[in-house]
Structure 1
Amino acid sequence: MDEITIDDIPALTLGAGVLATGGGGEPFVPRLMVEEALRRHGPVPLVQPGDLDPDGLLLPLAVVGAPTAFAERFFNGSEPRAALTALERHLGRKGVGVLPIEVGGGSTLLPIAAAAELGLPVVDADTMRRAFPRGELTHFHLAGISASPIVLVDTADNLVIVEATDNPTAERLARAATTAMGMIAVGALYPVTAAQAAAHAIHGSLSYCAEIGRHVRAIQEGAADGYTALLAATGGRIVFTGKIVDLNRRTEGGWARGTVTLDDLDGANRTLRVDFQNENLVAGEDGLPLVTTPDLISLLDVETGTPMTTETLGYGQRLTVLALPAHPRWHEPDGIELAGPRAFGYDLDYVPFGGHGE
């Protein structure tokens, strides 16, 4: 695909729901925003980093905050463009393209809307190949690239610029500002050149997201081989199918934290617990971890095939628990150190799952 049209948005939304692993921002309002932007401005060119001037500035964008806040606060539509133009003013340079920080939830869709409004291409890449709850959990951070300056814009058009000495500090300061903004904002961060993105971004992420979405749509339409095709395309597997029997969810420190417990649908004496911090991070049965971050844990509604966000989980829901291997770069020692379970305070080692991707 060499451009993104309004017809591509349903697949991108579904794929973003899977890659969000419960977080990434609720996609409904961002979907409305990107569809309106594409209707007004037409298709957005989809380019590779190497297609652009190597010294040209890329404008990365993401949703920042707690998914539970999306149930009460809505974007007004101006935030993505405001964040990126403020970043351009701060740097004294114009951007040549927009880059998604993550392919997950609303963070996949808002960069496309911003690109349409700014008349720029969107880059077929990201920095995670999934959603993560903290801003330093990126391939750019692994490459030593600074997240600063970070521009945050909230739903009331307040704007904050964060300049920090290192990326973990930038995350803490940005998280504190986002909490004061009502726990939801649009963030422009990790300004990079096209050459830096060519070297360190994960290429093909939007195309991969759309491919996943097409497979999920086939599942929703009742295709007999729907899950088989999805698992073949992603290297994933189904680890559990169950009904929610317990849900502990709270908003704390700018994140949605908690656990969801499922009993096996087939009547077997099996129970699965999923721990989340915005995103699902650990899935375990009988106290033994089956899947851990940085690999992906996605929950799909059994009846509808809808990818579930942490804020839409409810007692009695029947879910398919899908595990997808992370991008291979996350499986390297520094990737595991940055994004493995111990990085989130769990006293357990990464459980190898396998690799898939470019």
Structure 2
Amino acid sequence: MREIHPQDLEDIAVGAAILGTGGGGDPYIGKLLARGAIEANAPVKMISLEELPDDAKVVTCGAMGAPTILIEKIPSGEEMLMALRHYEDVTGETVTALMPFEAGGLNSCLPIVLAAQTGLPLIDADGMGRAFPQLEMETFNVYGVKAAPVALADERGNLAMVEADDAAKAEFLARGLCIRMGGQVCLVNYPMDGATAKRVSVPATMSLAQDIGRVLREAKREKKALLPTLIDFLSTTHYGYAKLLGSGKISDIERKVENGWSVGVVTIVPFDDSEPYKIRIQNENLLLEQSGEILAVVPDLICVLDIDTVEAIPTERLRYGQRVDILGIRVPEIMRTPEALAVFGPGAFGIDADYVALGGA
């Protein structure tokens, strides 16, 4: 078990932004909300899957919507708690443990807020191992857990509950509600017991986010080369492989909000003026190609990092002229099975390409 204190949140936010692959919401906002919740209540107890009782009543939680909207539509900090209480009131269940449904960005920090507010333990795991734009793109769904019921709440106290037979339909209905609630909501979903959580979750993603932040912080203090240090560290984790895929300057950004997602294409010109890199975005970075050659594709992580600080740049904060590195990270094995690739591989995003794992594994 780890305890999460206010001083730990900076490391978690730095690591969560990298795991967010450009999406998941800006962790800076989540960090501020989590700090306030911990200071007002108590440190959060984070437990491993191995420490979770088999009969625990688990729900997953996080935010849904287009990350660009968060720049102006700031959460109140009470949405997650309202969604949880609505879920419990409607279902009659009493939740005993919480888990993020995605490890990236804001959605690594918002579950900390809810854990601090309720005193419930936070499980060191998630269902994406990164950030994805759709609710059905979870290992929970891949391995047989129902997404519904899904409880939603917005900053004005509006509540909704979605019941659906499958995760894709739950996504479709919840996305429509999200758009009508201002394009950004908090939600609770994927109820399961502890034994199931151990079988279907991507392990140790919250602690990985914290450790990424710690490794980079210590490397800065010791004046080590930041990106090589990060790549070396990631090779020792259950992700197993990371690689610098390219570097350059952002020369063009096409971006819009469409059907509740931030979508677009980012063009990055290499410093040697060779053919530009193109990154396709749907909240997160999905595909990296150069001259028609695919260099990385979902579910592997494609992270756009500030070339000097190695801090991840969320898609909504990408700007013309930024100098960046493009880091690729291979996902854990639980996310590379045929069943998983059918749900969140290239074909799920309309990308006509076979998935080839980074590093060839």
Deviation at 1:268, TM superposition (A): 3.9
Residue 14 of structure 2 corresponds to 14
Residue 2 of structure 2 aligns with an amino acid whose one-letter code is D
Deviation at 1:219, TM superposition (A): 5.5
Say if 1:264 and 1:271, in contact at 8 Å, map to a contact too: yes
Residue 237 of structure 2 corresponds to none
Residue 322 of structure 2 corresponds to 317
Query: Structure 2: 5+ residue runs without aligned partners?
Result: 235-240
Mark the CA change 1:222 to 1:355 in structure 2 (over 3 Å): closer, same or farther. farther
Structure 2: distance between partners of 1:110 and 1:251: 23
Residue 13 of structure 1 aligns with an amino acid whose one-letter code is A
Residue 246 of structure 1 aligns with an amino acid whose one-letter code is D
Deviation at 1:109, TM superposition (A): 0.5
Q: Deviations over 1:90-149 (max 9, x none)?
A: 221211111111110110001111011101111111111111011111111111110000
Residue 303 of structure 1 corresponds to 308
Deviation at 1:12, TM superposition (A): 0.4
Structure 1: distance between partners of 2:360 and 2:173: 33
Paired residues for 1:20-99 under 5 Å: 20-99=20-99
Residue 239 of structure 1 corresponds to 245
Pair 1:121-2:127 in alignment: no
Q: Deviations over 1:174-200 (max 9, x none)?
A: 111111111101111101111111121
Structure 1: distance between partners of 2:200 and 2:360: 18
Residue 132 of structure 2 corresponds to 132
Residue 272 of structure 1 aligns with an amino acid whose one-letter code is Y
Pair 1:166-2:166 in alignment: yes
Per mean C-alpha deviation after superposition, the further-off stretch among 43-52 and 175-184 is: 43-52
The TM-score normalised by the length of structure 1 is: 0.95
Aligned residues: 355
Which residue of 264, 274, 283 maps to 2:279? 274
Paired residues for 1:324-335 under 5 Å: 324-335=329-340
Residue 252 of structure 1 aligns with an amino acid whose one-letter code is E
Residue 262 of structure 2 corresponds to 256
Residue 190 of structure 2 corresponds to 190
Structure 1: distance between partners of 2:319 and 2:2: 39
Structure 2: distance between partners of 1:91 and 1:328: 34
Deviation at 1:50, TM superposition (A): 3.8
Pair 1:345-2:350 in alignment: yes
Deviation at 1:354, TM superposition (A): 3.8
Residue 288 of structure 1 aligns with an amino acid whose one-letter code is E
Deviation at 1:6, TM superposition (A): 1.1
Q: Deviations over 1:306-325 (max 9, x none)?
A: 21111101111111111000
The TM-score normalised by the length of structure 2 is: 0.95
Structure 2: distance between partners of 1:220 and 1:133: 32
Deviation at 1:256, TM superposition (A): 0.3
Say if 2:44 and 2:112, in contact at 8 Å, map to a contact too: yes
Say if 1:220 and 1:305, in contact at 8 Å, map to a contact too: no
Say if 1:218 and 1:226, in contact at 8 Å, map to a contact too: no
Query: Structure 1: 5+ residue runs without aligned partners?
Result: none
Residue 45 of structure 2 aligns with an amino acid whose one-letter code is P
What secondary structure is seen at the aligned counterpart in 1 of 2:29?
A: helix
Structure 1: distance between partners of 2:304 and 2:313: 6
Per mean C-alpha deviation after superposition, the further-off stretch among 286-295 and 91-100 is: 91-100
Q: Deviations over 1:23-62 (max 9, x none)?
A: 1011222111100111121211111234333222112101
Residue 291 of structure 1 aligns with an amino acid whose one-letter code is A
Say if 2:227 and 2:310, in contact at 8 Å, map to a contact too: no
Structure 1: distance between partners of 2:323 and 2:220: 15
Say if 1:50 and 1:195, in contact at 8 Å, map to a contact too: no
Pair 1:285-2:290 in alignment: yes
Residue 257 of structure 1 aligns with an amino acid whose one-letter code is V
Say if 1:328 and 1:355, in contact at 8 Å, map to a contact too: no
Q: Deviations over 1:293-313 (max 9, x none)?
A: 000001111133321111101
Structure 2: distance between partners of 1:153 and 1:220: 40
Structure 2: distance between partners of 1:221 and 1:355: 34
Residue 170 of structure 1 aligns with an amino acid whose one-letter code is A
Q: Using the aligned pairs only, state the percent identity.
A: 35
Mark the CA change 1:98 to 1:207 in structure 2 (over 3 Å): closer, same or farther. same
Structure 2: distance between partners of 1:181 and 1:355: 43
Residue 178 of structure 1 aligns with an amino acid whose one-letter code is C
Say if 2:226 and 2:310, in contact at 8 Å, map to a contact too: no
Structure 1: distance between partners of 2:216 and 2:333: 23
Deviation at 1:75, TM superposition (A): 0.3
